[in-house]
Structure 1
Amino acid sequence: MEVETLIPEYRIEYHLYDLRTRKNLTDRELSKLSGVSKTQINQIEDGKVNPTIRTLCSLSLALGVPPGDLFSILINP
C-alpha cells in the first residue's frame, strides 16, 4: 500500500540579494552588521545553502526586515 504525501513538493527562494542591494549594502558590509560570514551570504544568495533560523534572524535584524521577508516558499504544481 502506497502512502500519500500530504506535503506538496516545494522549493525555497531567498531574497537576500534583493534586500541587501535595496539597502545599498555590499556583502562585506552586511557580514559586518549581521555577524554572518561573507562566504555564507554569497552561498545563500546563489542558492547553494539553506540558512539556519538563527542565520535568517541575524540577517533580518541587520537589514531591518522581518525574517519572513528573506524567503518565499514556492509550491511546485
Structure 2
Amino acid sequence: MIYMKMSILKMGDFMKVKILLREVRLKKNITLETLARLSGISKGHLSKIERQEREPKISTLIQIAIALNVDVKELYKVIL
C-alpha cells in the first residue's frame, strides 16, 4: 500500500493509494516487456511498482498511462 499526502486533508493525514498497474496491464494483454518498451520505464522498475515495492512519481504514472492508452486515474484506487 502506498501513502500519499494530500493537501485537502489536515496536516498529518494520509490516504492509502493502491496502484492498479498489473490489473490494467493484464486487462489490455500487455506484457511487462512491452510496457517497458512503450513507456521508456525499465521492466524491473515497473515490476516493483506492480508489487507495491516502489512508490511511483506522478510523472511515472503519466508515462505508464500514456503507454497503456488509459486515463491516469485508472492506475490507482484511493482507500480512505
- Normalising by the smaller structure, the TM-score range is 0.7 to 0.9
Match of 1:73 in 2: 78
Which of 45, 48, 59 matches 2:50? 45
Higher strand share: 2
Residue 20 of structure 2 corresponds to residue 11 of structure 1:
no
CA distance in 2, matches of 1:35, 1:72: 24
Q: Which has the higher contact order (CA 8 A, sep 6+)?
A: 1
Shift of 1:36: 0.9
Match of 1:27 among 32, 36, 56: 32
Structure 1 residues not aligned, in runs of 5+: none
How far off is 1:6 after superposition? 2.8
Is 2:55 aligned against 1:62?
no
Percent identity over the alignment is: 30
Q: Which of the pair has more CA radius of gyration?
A: 1
